[in-house]
Structure formats: structure tokens, C-alpha cells
Amino acid sequence: MFKNIPISALIGLFFTGLYFFIAIFAPWIAPYGMAEAVGDVWEPSSAKHWLGTDSIGRDLLSRMIYGGRTTIFIATAATILSFTLGSCLGLLAAVMGGWVDQAISRFVDLIMSIPTLIFALVVLSVMPVTIPVLILVMGLLDSTRVYRLSRAVAVDINVMDYVEAATLRGEGRGWIIFREILPNALSPLVAEMGLRFIFAVLFVSTLSFLGLGVQPPGADWGGIVKENKDGIVYGIPAALVPAFAIATLAISVNLVADWILNRTTSLKGGRG
């Protein structure tokens, strides 16, 4: 089965898998503890500390590994939440039509009229900043975009002959959503899922960088930048390490998502 996968998608799959593997098995892989001070402040990289140490002498590689765990966990949870909510509402709106569709769609328009980051900041100004709250806020805000896509895809599918056949056969609404529309809408949704995941990674990193995401001593990639940013002016590149991690993760997921999307469009080719 690996014969038909293009090389770029294989690279993407490999690195995405690697990051998830490291995230899951972080405590066994990291050479030192997450919050353990093991050396001097901002040591350069050495055989003992591969990436050097951070602003208070913690091993940067270990921080990065644990940080990746937090970042990937939050992003995954937020993506799952936004997908479940967004696609359920989107499919429901497409099938029901009428005032249900209008009510949900106009509400989503309203939420999208405020920039996501600004809205998240407004809500977080009164919420306690904990990981469940972060996941909830990110997931709910992002579900608006999933809703738009899934509704658009489902509206197209809803007028297909086989859906009409199912309706005439007397199938219920649940059957039509889950057995007729969902399987046919799955590929674009899965590709979109990759993009939403990247967006969640960037978003949680941004919030943590602003000091409104994961709170210390917990580590995440945005927080690592925040902790080490003062070193930049002295020419210490510790704060740039997460840039590399975030960029490679995002690009690999992008490559996989592109491949999934291309595969679907070529499957459809010729048959509309």
C-alpha cells in the first residue's frame, strides 16, 4: 500500500508520527526532568545538554520534549472538540435547512466577525487560565470554521440522488447524516482537520507566548520562547529552538493534508 504514497506525504507522515511518538513517550525519552535545574544559565549545547540549558538552567531538550507533549495534547484535544461540534452542527444544518440552518449560520457569522485571537483574549481576561479552559475556548472558537466547511460540503451532497433515494426509502435523519452524507464528506473534512490542528498548535503557542496559555512551571513551545526571549538580545538563540519544532510539525502535517486532499480530488476526477 505504500507504493502509491508520494515521497512528500511519506516524509510528512514520518515526522508527524515521530512528533506524536515523542509526545506520548516523553517521560521515557527526555534525558532530564521537566522542571529540574541541572546546569548553568543558558549553557551552550554540549554532549551533556544537546540543546544547551534555558534561562534558569533547565535542560532545553527535556523542556522541548515535555513542551511538545503539552502543545500537541492541547492542540489535539481542541481539534477533536472543534471537529465533533463543528461537523455535527454543520451536517445537521445542511440536512435540516430552514430556520435551524439560518439560526446557526448567522450565529457563526457573528462569532467570525470578531478576530479569533481578540475574542480569545477577551474571554481569557475573566476565565481562570487552565488547560481545560484553553482547550474549551480554542475548540469552541475553531468549530465555527469547521462548521462552515462541513455545511458547504454537506449541502452539495444533500442534493445527490442517493440521498434522495434514502429519504424515499424512509430512512431517518440520523441514517442520512451518518450513513449517507458523512462517509462522502469525510475526505475534505480529514484534510481540513490537519489544517485546523496546525492552527491550534500556532494558536496555543501564541497564547502561551503572551503569558495567557500554559502557566509555568508547565512547559509548552510558546512558553519556552517567552522564558528565553530575553537571551535574544545577548545573542543566545535558545528562544529560537521552538520555531524549528513548530515549523517542522506544521509543514509535515500540511504535506499529509495536501496528499489526502489531492487523493480525493483525483478519485472524483471524471465523475464530478
Partner 1 sequence: MHPILKLVSQRLALGLLLLLAASALIFVGTQILPGDVAASILGQSATPEALANLRAELGLNEPALSRYFSWLGSAVTGDLGTALTNGQDIATSMGKRLGNTLFLAFWAAVVSVPLAIFLGLLAVRYKDRWPDKLISAVTLTSISIPEFLIGYVLMYFIGVKLGWAPSVAMINDSMSLGEKLAAIALPVTVLTLVVLAHMMRMTRAAILNVMQSAYIETAELKGLSSFQVISRHAFPNAIAPIVNVVMLNLAYLVVGVVVVEVVFVYPGMGQYLVDHVAKRDVPVVQACGLVFAAVYILLNMVADIVSILANPRLRHPK
Q: Least distance from C-beta 172 to partner 1, angstroms?
A: 33
Identify each DSSP E strand in the chain by its residue range: none
- When the beta carbons of 37 and 212 are compared against partner 1, the nearer one is 212
Q: Least distance from C-beta 78 to partner 1, angstroms?
A: 15
Q: How far is CA 219 from CA 72, 102, 186, 206, 209, in A?
A: 12, 42, 34, 14, 11
Using the rule CB under 8 A, give the single segment among 31-39, 47-55, 97-105, 231-239 that binds partner 1.
Answer: 231-239
DSSP string, 26-94: HHHH-SS-TT-B-S-TTPPP-SSSTT-B-TTSBBHHHHHHHHHHHHHHHHHHHHHHHHHHHHHHHHHHH
Binding to partner 1 by residue 223, rule CB under 8 A?
Answer: no
**Near partner 1 in 170-209, by CB under 8 A:** 198, 202, 205-206, 209
Using the rule CB under 8 A, give the single segment among 26-34, 92-100, 118-126, 170-178 that binds partner 1.
Answer: 118-126
Half-sphere exposure at residue 249, Cβ-oriented, CA atoms within 13 angstroms = 26
Binding to partner 1 by residue 29, rule CB under 8 A?
Answer: no
Using the rule CB under 8 A, give the single segment among 22-30, 86-94, 185-193, 227-235 that binds partner 1.
Answer: 227-235
What pairs with residue 59 in β-bridges? 53
- When the beta carbons of 87 and 144 are compared against partner 1, the nearer one is 144
**Near partner 1 in 98-117, by CB under 8 A:** 109-111, 113-115, 117
Residue 78, all three cell numbers: 481542541
- When the beta carbons of 90 and 222 are compared against partner 1, the nearer one is 222
- When the beta carbons of 117 and 165 are compared against partner 1, the nearer one is 117
Q: Please tell me the distance from the alpha carbon of residue 41 to that of residue 55, in angstroms, as a whole number.
A: 5
- When the beta carbons of 72 and 95 are compared against partner 1, the nearer one is 72
Q: How far is CA 24 from CA 149, 238, 240, in A?
A: 30, 24, 23
Q: Is residue 46 within 8 Å of 52, Cβ to Cβ?
A: yes
Binding to partner 1 by residue 7, rule CB under 8 A?
Answer: no
Q: How far is CA 244 from CA 13, 135, 222, in A?
A: 17, 24, 12
Q: Least distance from C-beta 18 to partner 1, angstroms?
A: 16
Q: Please tell me the distance from the alpha carbon of residue 109 to that of residue 148, in angstroms, as a whole number.
A: 9
Spatial CA neighbour of 89 closest among 101, 99, 80, 81: 101
Using the rule CB under 8 A, give the single segment among 16-24, 47-55, 178-186, 232-240 that binds partner 1.
Answer: 232-240
Using the rule CB under 8 A, give the single segment among 15-23, 61-69, 122-130, 149-157 that binds partner 1.
Answer: 122-130
Number of residues that bind partner 1 (CB under 8 A): 42
Binding to partner 1 by residue 32, rule CB under 8 A?
Answer: no
Binding region for partner 1 (CB under 8 A):
109-111, 113-115, 117-119, 121-128, 198, 202, 205-206, 209-212, 222, 225, 229, 232-235, 237, 239-240, 242-243, 246-247, 250-251, 254
